[in-house]
A and B are shown apart, each in its own frame.
Chain A
Amino acid sequence: MKKVSWLLTLLLVGMPTFALAAGTIDGGSKQAINWSAIGMFVGFVMLTLVITYWAAKRTASAADFYSAGGGITGFQNGLAIAGDYMSAASFLGISGLVYTSGYDGLIYSVGWLVGWPIVTFLIAEQLRNLGKFTFADVTSFRLGQTDIRILAACGSLVTVAFYLIAQMVGAGKLIQLLFGLDYWIAVVLVGGLMMIYVTFGGMKATTWVQIIKAVLLLAGATFMAGAVLYKFGFSPEALFAKATEVHPKKIAIMEPGSLISNPLSAISLGLALMFGTAGLPHILMRFFTVKDAQAARKSVFYATGFIGYFYVLTFIIGFGAITLVSTDATFLDASILEKTKSGIAAIKGGSNMAAIHLANAVGGNLFLGFISAVAFATILAVVSGLALAGASSISHDLYGMVIKRGAANEQDEIRVSKIATLVLGVLAIFLGIVFENQNVAFMVGLAFAIAASCNFPVLVMSIFWKGLTTRGALIGGFLGLISAVVGVVLSPAVWEATLGYAKGSAPIKLDNPALFSMAIAFAGIWLFSILDRSKRAAIDRDGFDAQFVRSQTGIGAASATTH
């Protein structure tokens, strides 16, 4: 079952969440209180609260609240998007994966990056030209508002909910380890700060928190990778040579290991990684914070660059940790070391702590504090982005467009989203505490699978296929959503590992359902659209040409400012 756990690891770190750490940092032991980390973190929180205060004074209209008034530049938005991707999971998770198995970490990095070009070529501009605040604006452009908004809101909220829970649990576990605080305090802290950022500062504050965090993370990772290479005279060959010498798997860490052995599973996972990216509501929302389509496409270009650069750094950091952490008794658990004789297995706090220990090894206590604080800041930023996406879906799609039929007063809509944020925050804290000792892996798998099988197919078909009808999108989208849920429950990861049935008894052998759930969604959308002879269907098809012209040229696109 090693393969399964690896694929799961791959899947988990493949997301801007913190579930991986939740899965493996569970030693339960609390560290001594880490004052330098707490000091740095308090500094970060102060800075972000000042920004929130500043943003709050400038947030008056719905456009300010949902999309920062469209005033974010392409470069800034690139950093913010990258920030959503360079989560604590990808930073600690990939470097931990490289630490334990070398080359396999790189395979994951590749899988996660390749979704971005697809987003640029096929979605980014069209989204910006057609939408206003949420991606449901795009899908309901020519389709029946009510049904489509409900479908999109379901897809978004389910994705956001599962992500949020996984994030909260991960945050609690990490903070226990890094700061020496109690689990529940950590969860309340994250939930509370998130509510402050989102309700007072809206998208502007959330974006700036994300940008600051991205810069700190890139700077910290650059310093670490630089320090590692410096020790080896800037020769990667020397670094790799030393790593293969001290790692128990020796030269095998330089080639693919047990990460992928079933090609079908690999392809399914690849699909989920690629297209899940293009269906995540909190990422899609970022395309509305910029001025126009040109800025939208530029921001993905910058984001791809930052993310790619960051992955190269984590690869070096992972190898650096093999050479500097696994050979240093201060970072190892003596009792495990005695049993296994392997520095890799004996690392304190599990492999996800590799980068944290390396920070200590190359930069001392103060730098350790810095990296710990950045890791925590990362969770805060991602949680805020998620909460805003969920709240917008409730206030803009459900309240504004479904309940009030587009006639909602702007101030009421903002008030609803603030209430929604508070409810989401309280719920996230509550569920974070309830799920403390649950394996959150399946929730993240579910979130990703739903994004790839419900949100993405409906979005891409509505942009490119004239024949799409409301009924087709509705049935196909819900089929995708349901089959993704069923596929995750029947997969080995949940059926065997979580529900406890015998090994090998899982009805579906794929670790991620994307291959079949995406196929079902697309087939359902196509079939029920071409069979649709209703009056509504004629309206849907007739509306395509106008939509297409606008998606290509931006003529008539909502300007993000309301003046």
Chain B
Amino acid sequence: MINLARIERDPNYQELVRRRSSLGWRLSLIMLVVYFGFILLVAYAPKFLGTPLGSGVMTIGIPIGLSVIVLAFVLTGIYVRQANSSYDVLVRKIVEENRP
């Protein structure tokens, strides 16, 4: 059996939980704000998104829309990178130290 209380007291575990959840919720918040910001822009300021860029027909809305897509990918990448490099190291330590 694993010793629950021992793991919970483990500083590595506490650090893992703290870091993982703070990053996870922060990134989630960024995504929510950006996405609903975009939707509200579409609902309230369609003309702003229709502002031409330079002299051509390309409008500012296109790079903005594409950036939201790219942002979703980048945020996921940031999380996965963090998790693979540092959280998994902590997890391995916790598992090692708490071997029954």
Q: Residues of A with Cβ closer than 8 Å to B?
A: 103, 106-107, 109-111, 113-114, 116-118, 120-122, 125, 236-237, 240-241, 244, 251-252, 254-257, 259-263, 266-267, 270, 274, 294, 297-298, 300-301, 304-305, 308, 311-312, 545-546, 549, 552-556
Contact = CB atoms under 8 A, between A and B. Distances in A.
Given A113-B68, A113-B72, A266-B39, 11 more contacts: A106-B62, A107-B39, A110-B38, A118-B31, A120-B79, A122-B24, A254-B58, A256-B50, A549-B2, A553-B7, A555-B98
13 contacts: A103-B59, A117-B27, A117-B72, A118-B28, A237-B56, A240-B58, A241-B56, A256-B49, A259-B42, A263-B43, A297-B83, A549-B13, A556-B2
B11 interface: no
Contact of A294 (B44, B57, B88): B88
A116 B46 CA distance: 26
B49 A103 contact: yes
B72 A114 contact: yes
Contacts of B23: 121
Nearest to B83: A297
Contact of A312 (B69, B80, B84, B94): B69
A260 B45 CA distance: 11
Contacts of A267: 36, 39
B76 A241 contact: no
Contacts of B94: 553, 555
Interface of B: 2, 4, 7-8, 13, 16-17, 20, 23-25, 27-28, 31-32, 35-36, 38-40, 42-44, 46-47, 49-50, 52, 56-59, 61-62, 65-66, 68-70, 72-73, 75-77, 79-80, 83-84, 88, 91, 94-95, 98
B83 A256 contact: no
A263 B44 CA distance: 8
A236 to B, nearest CB: 7
A106 B35 contact: no
A386 to B, nearest CB: 25
Contacts of A300: 76, 80
Nearest to B1: A556
Nearest to B7: A549
Contacts of B40: 263, 266
Given A236-B58, A549-B13, A555-B2, A117 B75 contact: yes
A260 B39 CA distance: 8
A124 to B, nearest CB: 10
Contacts of B88: 294
B62 to A, nearest CB: 7
A117 B42 contact: no
- Counting from the closest, the 7 A-B pairs by CB-CB distance are A255-B50, A256-B46, A121-B24, A263-B43, A106-B65, A254-B59, A114-B35
B47 A262 contact: no
B38 A251 contact: no
A103 B65 CA distance: 9
Contacts of A549: 2, 4, 7-8, 13
A118 B56 CA distance: 36
A462 B68 CA distance: 30
Contacts of B59: 103, 254-255
Given A254-B50, A260-B39, A263-B40, A113 B16 contact: no
B29 to A, nearest CB: 10
A305 B24 CA distance: 19
B80 A298 contact: yes
A254 B73 CA distance: 24
A546 B7 CA distance: 10
A68 to B, nearest CB: 22
Given A110-B68, A240-B57, A294-B88, A117 B43 contact: no
Contacts of B38: 107, 110
Contacts of A109: 65, 69
B76 A554 contact: no
Given A114-B68, A549-B7, A556-B2, A255 B61 contact: yes
Given A113-B69, A240-B56, A546-B4, A294 B83 contact: yes
A110 B58 contact: no
A540 B30 CA distance: 32
